[in-house]
Structure 1
Amino acid sequence: MFNGLYKLFSRDLAVDLGTANTLIYVRGMGIVSNEPSVVAVRQDSRGGKTVYFIRAAHNRSRLVKPRVIIGIPSGITEVERRAVREAVKSAGAREVYLIEQPIAAAIGAGLPITEPSGHMIVDIGGGTSDVAVISLAGIVCAKSVRVGGDKMDEAIIQHIKRRYNLLIGERTAELIKITVGNAYPSDEVLTMDIKGRDLVAGVPRTLTVSSDEVRDALAEPVNAIVEAVKGTLERTPPELAGDVADRGIVLAGGGALLKGFDALLREETGLPVFLAEDPLSSVVIGAGKALEELNILRQVCSLA
């Protein structure tokens, strides 16, 4: 009886604790928070940013404890799982569920993951990229690489530094990536003026960069993600590989918005490639759907 009352008054939460941004979904309300993951916390606070975001979203009495579902990378270790579980419980969760981010992204992208057919999802986040083939609500084969939007930004910074002796910050690098960044050649060459500090003279300087040279700068991190996709396809069972060939590859995550990445992946794999309707929010939307529907929750999540 008391557990039923908890469910009635508690705000159950789904959390996508990304490297760059943390998104929170509240059952019955949808996405209520999208904030940078870098936050200031007290030295003695347990669980750091995980605790901060959960307590910020669940601002009711601590006597009313929520269920919380957390998206985790597919390659996470058991030690890391335990750390996440303990941090969330210390924030006051009644129950903690862990859902692997590729599964959450697939649900958020609208893929019928409970069917026996195979579906491939590529979730490109800030710090990691997860590639997975999913069938019957489980991951059949997967690859997680520590390459994502952050590595792309760093590649741009290093390119500008080496070629022009100009130092730019992370924000400028991200703006370059968004404005003229691309992964596949285009007939139209875009340019952008950027500002930074001249490493020789030590004074501010402005220069113009083109989309062609930015594509060259991004080649290494982009190719690492493409190779992860190809490697996962090679390990996919033949019957599921046929399903993927028919249905194509779905891209999610902020990194999937890089211009031309879908075209590059289509050329490299020979398969159809599609962008999720809301790539940036696919993981938390999928985790939220699992939270709303208990039958999905039981199939795709592990109770921590």
Structure 2
Amino acid sequence: MASADIGIDLGTASILVYVKGKGVVLKEPSVVAYDRDTNKIVAIGEEARLMLGRTPGNIVAIRPLRQGVISDYTITEKMLKYFIQKAVGRSYFGRRPRISVCVPSQVTEVEKKAVEDATYAAGARDVSIIEEPVAAAIGAGIDIYRPCGNMIVDIGGGTADIAVISLGGPVVSASIKVAGDDFDEAVVRFMRKKHNLLIGERTAEEIKIKIGTCYRRPENITLDIRGRNLVTGLPKTVTVTSDETEEALREPASQICEAVHSVLERTPPELAADIADRGIVLTGGGALLHGLEELLEEKTGITTMTAEDPLRAVAIGTGKYIELLSEKNN
């Protein structure tokens, strides 16, 4: 039996694995918990995420990928091996899998090589590296090989990748290190400044998902949040409104709008005309932030829509990329 073709969306916040013929079979947080004393890995994925900010001194829960780039090579390799085995089963049924991995569009050759080496070490027979916006476009169902411009804004956990794609590759692209994690950090800072409340990144993410917005909502919704009062040092509950989150998220959201603007400024006129017709497509977990479509439309004057399955678009595109490559080479 032939080996499986696998696509891996190697994200800062979560890792998704796509297996040919089965679709996305695994989505887990890219978090690893290991014991400092023995250097052994205690937990990987969801189990490790629950430990973030809640571990004793000798156990550390870390994210081995920062802003889409490997910051801890050995742990990333072990994490990849674990996820590949979990997705495909321990025995690879004959030959080792062909794996395509996506990376942010502006990574250096050294960073690309690190991803490639880690994937080979995790058990790949063949590795192809694909840029995130291209994968996102394939996953969003866009025919990237046609000679017309498509603009993709992929907002992940660590980076936001913006690209104008035509004839199978990015014509103009930008990658900024402002994304989902920065939304969380902005919420943490805001809560500290406005309410004297210290909250963790998991609570900040909960606020972002449940009531967060970067464009004023028609109705103001609230959420009760528990944290530590910085004045008394005791636990305290505060009611947060969606209008407050708009204030908190204003800066990172406007940085993303500025990056989109600068890519549009560098886009050749023919492709810019295509984008004005076809609109901007948002993918990635950050695309789920309420009000982002409206904000981009207001700033650029171009229709903006979110892909059907923004969270999985990159993983699906990465997996389909191998199929597209083999079709083109035949």
Q: What does the per-residue CA deviation read over 1:33-59, in whole Å, with 9 as the maximum and x for residues that have no partner? A: 101101246487672423332233342
Alignment partners' CA distance in 2, 1:240 and 1:72: 24
Q: Is the 8 A contact 2:14 2:27 kept in 1?
A: yes
Does structure 1 residue 29 correspond to structure 2 residue 22?
yes
Instruction: Give the SS at the match of 2:311.
Output: helix
Alignment partners' CA distance in 2, 1:64 and 1:45: 25
Q: Is the 8 A contact 1:14 1:24 kept in 2?
A: yes
Does structure 1 residue 203 correspond to structure 2 residue 243?
no
Does structure 1 residue 99 correspond to structure 2 residue 99?
no
Residue 165 of structure 1 deviates from its aligned partner by 1.1
Does structure 1 residue 56 correspond to structure 2 residue 49?
no
Q: What does the per-residue CA deviation read over 1:195-217, in whole Å, with 9 as the maximum and x for residues that have no partner? A: 11111111111111111111110
Q: Is the 8 A contact 2:2 2:93 kept in 1?
A: no
What is the Cα-based RMSD across aligned positions, in Å?
A: 1.8
| AA in 1 matched with 2:304 | V
Residue 61 of structure 1 deviates from its aligned partner by 4.5
Does structure 1 residue 287 correspond to structure 2 residue 318?
yes
- Matched with 1:4 is none
Q: Is the 8 A contact 2:163 2:170 kept in 1?
A: yes
| AA in 1 matched with 2:14 | N
| AA in 2 matched with 1:230 | H
Unaligned stretches of 5+ residues in structure 2 = 35-39, 42-73
TM (norm. structure 2) is 0.84
Between 248-257 and 49-58, the greater mean CA deviation after superposition:
49-58
Structure 1's 294 and 279: CA in aligned 2 closer, same or farther, altered over 3 A? same
Alignment partners' CA distance in 1, 2:318 and 2:148: 21
1:70-109 counterparts in 2 under 5 A? Answer: 70-109=101-140
- Matched with 1:122 is 153
Alignment partners' CA distance in 2, 1:27 and 1:272: 33
TM (norm. structure 1) is 0.91
Alignment partners' CA distance in 1, 2:123 and 2:32: 19
Residue 93 of structure 1 deviates from its aligned partner by 0.9
Structure 1's 188 and 142: CA in aligned 2 closer, same or farther, altered over 3 A? same
**Which structure has the higher relative contact order (CA within 8 Å, separation 6+)?**
1
Instruction: Give the SS at the match of 1:255.
Output: helix
| Structure (1/2) with the larger helix percentage | 1
Q: Is the 8 A contact 1:290 1:296 kept in 2?
A: no
